[in-house]
Chain A
Amino acid sequence: TQLLEQSPQFLSIQEGENLTVYCNSSSVFSSLQWYRQEPGEGPVLLVTVVTGGEVKKLKRLTFQFGDARKDSSLHITAAQPGDTGLYLCAGETGANNLFFGTGTRLTVIP
């Protein structure tokens, strides 16, 4: 069962542009994580958000957890080619495993 929908599925932008990726669900999560995956590698954790309404910043990346803990967004400012990859959100329901989103494949063109 797919609990987390990400949009857009694909995104191709020019270097220097801003973008937002969305992660939506009808389920409530106790925490939500964002990962980035590059070709031939496993996903790497970027951030974990726990509190509804929480905002975390990681350099040019801003993560927000929805007030109801059902959705999240990732905003990238002034995208760089190094930001290219598959972005995955993952929600934890308290059952000791993560449910991963459908993924957003980002390409930043130099």
Chain B
Amino acid sequence: GAVVSQHPSWVICKSGTSVKIECRSLDFQATTMFWYRQFPKQSLMLMATSNEGSKATYEQGVEKDKFLINHASLTLSTLTVTSAHPEDSSFYICSARVLGGWANYGYTFGSGTRLTVV
């Protein structure tokens, strides 16, 4: 089945530094990648949608200059949290939509990245 590899699985960084999270589709081409954030006991909140070769579309309230998304190829999308602050500490998950599908088999999730900013 379609697999998305997400790295790192956890990261601790100091305030003010930047952190890059990678999601790679291993055996399929992901034209669309979704980036979510989940705070404890809350739902996954969509941050942005990225399409290969074009600019990401950000959800309302998500700062595009702070959360930089790059989707330069069909197998790699990255999220960079710039100038991270403690309130950015969260669980970040990517999800790829398999080419040509939008039904249940069309979404596959990375294993998530737990970011702690100290």
Q: Do A and B bind each other?
A: no
The chain B residues found within 8 Å of chain A, CB to CB, are: none
The chain A residues found within 8 Å of chain B, CB to CB, are: none
